Amino acid sequence: MQFDKLTLYRSYDLHTPDIPERSVLYFLEPINIGAIECESLISYLIRLAEVHCVTPDKLIKHKIYPFFWGHDDLSGSCKGIVGRTFTNRSHIKLLNFSGWYTSKLVESLEILTLRSDLTCLTMMHWHELITYVYLLRDCKAWCPLCYSYWHQNKLPIYEPLLWSFEPVAVCPQHHYPLITQCPHCNHKLPIIAPNSRTGYCNHCGEWLGNLEKYHIKSDGLYHSEIALQSELIKILGSLIAFNTKVFESETTRFYRQIIAYFQLKELSSLELSNHQISQKRIHKCMSHIEHTIEDFWKLSSRVALEKSSKN
């Protein structure tokens, strides 16, 4: 009996097992990658801080900053969101889009989480197609109906990448105007703040999904405005979802040019019939596109007529 036990012990494998690599931060899964409702990179960063029970500035200071700049010397860093990258509004605006700062943030987060899909939370794949001029918001925008629905159904609260684009005025799910001002304290919220929490105001701390606090009146949009808004959401949504079919149709050049059209922040009206719009200004904005402004007006007018006939 003792001999049998000794034989059994000798059959054990005493080699050290291969232990998979462990991530520094949680392997947090982004929300809705490959869909129009895909999460933004800033939203992912804020949620990552939340699951670690710290504020975004603490996560940036102690984990992201050393990877971002290649050292952990914080003696000369700014208060709040650490480093000039996270205090400069122009840099923060680009973090959901593309550029050197965006690529460095993606690289840092992927090293820390061992994920390989965080580029999908930005527009880095399409930086040669569209420019960020007049396209990105200076402050947060959100749909209170989305927040309320996610909260009631115990779903993760997050910020879709689509909400970070200035021309997008309505929620594609609820057709409800996006809000840019807290209904409790009337503050506009920055893209990211030291104490940011998804779905909450960083000034007063109140929940932004309380529908009783919102009193939205009908904007009375023109048919042409609604048609353009729908087209823009469709186009940006296709880019966010990495749907290459959108570029296989005959209206590829229109898809490129309508984005450039919305980039002109000075437009007081979205009506295609507005002849006061400077064609020279639009042509300059679309200088990277190999089509003339006449092509744009011809194509956009045709789309507007098709939309009106359907309505």
Q: What is the DSSP string of 194-253?
A: TT-BTTB-TTT--BTT-GGG--PPP----HHHHHHHHHHHHHHHHHHTT-GGGGSSTTHH
How is residue 109 written in tokens? 């987060």
Nearest Cα residue to 96 out of 168, 202, 204: 168
pLDDT lower than 70: segments of the chain: 1-13, 70-87, 128-131, 133-134, 216-227, 243-311
Whole-number pLDDT of residue 155: 96
Number of CB atoms found within 10 A of residue 150's CB: 17
Residue-level pLDDT at 21? 83
Would you call 194 exposed, middle or buried from its count of C-beta atoms within 10 A (0-12, 13-18, 19+)? middle
Residue 252 confidence (pLDDT): 56
Dist. CA 97–CA 94, nearest whole Å = 5
Give the span between the Cα atoms of 43 and 170, in whole angstroms: 19
pLDDT score for 221: 53
**How deeply is 45 buried, as exposed, middle or buried, from its count of CB atoms within 10 A (0-12, 13-18, 19+)?**
buried
Question: Quick check: 288 and 131 in contact, CB under 8 A?
Answer: yes
39 φ, ψ to 5°? -70, 150
Query: Could you count the other beta carbons within 10 Å of the beta carbon of residue 55?
Result: 20
pTM recorded for the entire structure: 0.75
Rounded-to-integer distance, Cα 107 and Cα 117, Å: 10
- Cβ–Cβ under 8 Å, residues 201 and 184: yes
At 167 the pLDDT is 83
Beta bridge partners of 190: 139
3-state secondary structure of 190: strand
* pLDDT of the residue at 295: 47
pLDDT of the residue at 141 = 95
In a 13 Å sphere around the CA of 119, the CA atoms on its Cβ side amount to: 11
Residue 226, Cα to own-chain centre: how many angstroms? 22
pLDDT at 29: 96
- Look up residue 53 and give its amino acid: C
Q: How many angstroms separate the CA atoms of 223 and 93, rounded?
A: 31
Structure tokens of 267? 């437009």
Tell me the sheet residues that pair with 200. 197, 207
Q: What tokens appear for 175 in the block?
A: 């057709």
Q: What share of the chain is helix, strand, coil (3-state, %, to 5)?
A: 45, 5, 50
Question: Reduced to 3 states, what is the DSSP secondary structure of residue 142?
Answer: strand
* Rounded distance between C-alpha atoms, residue 137 and residue 96, angstroms: 10
> Cα 32 to the chain's mean position, in Å?
12
Backbone φ and ψ of 279, nearest 5°? -65, -35
- For 202, the 3-state DSSP assignment is coil
pLDDT of residue 286: 46
